[in-house]
Amino acid sequence: DGGITQSPKYLFRKEGQNVTLSCEQNLNHDAMYWYRQDPGQGLRLIYYSQIVNDFQKGDIAEGYSVSREKKESFPLTVTSAQKNPTAFYLCASSLIGGSYEQYFGPGTRLTVT
Partner 1 sequence: AQSVTQLGSHVSVSEGALVLLRCNYSSSVPPYLFWYVQYPNQGLQLLLKYTTGATLVKGINGFEAEFKKSETSFHLTKPSAHMSDAAEYFCAVGTGGSYIPTFGRGTSLIVHP
Residues in contact with partner 1 by the rule CB under 8 A = 4, 6, 31, 33, 40-43, 45, 48, 50, 58, 88, 90, 92, 94, 96, 98-107, 109
Nearest to 68 by CA among 105, 106, 34: 34
- Given a contact cutoff of 8 angstroms between Cβ atoms, the answer to whether 64 and 19 are in contact is no
Question: CA angle, corner 74, sides to 11 and 48, nearest 5?
Answer: 110
Q: In the complex with partner 1, which residue's Cβ is closer, 82 or 102? A: 102
Query: At closest approach, how far in Å is the CB of 70 from partner 1?
Result: 20
Among residues 80 and 86, whose Cβ is nearest to partner 1? 86
In this structure, is the dihedral angle defined by the CA atoms of residues 72, 78, 81 and 85, taken in order, positive or negative? Answer: positive
The residue among 45 and 61 lying less far from partner 1, judged by its C-beta, is 45
Q: Which residues are paired to 49 by β-bridges?
A: 32
Kindly state the smallest distance separating residue 91's Cβ from partner 1, in Å: 8
Bridge partners (DSSP) of residue 19 are 78
Shortest distance, position 99 Cβ to partner 1, whole Å: 5
- Minimum distance from residue 113 beta carbon to partner 1 (Å): 19
Nearer to partner 1, 9 or 83 (CB): 9
Helices (H), 1-113: none
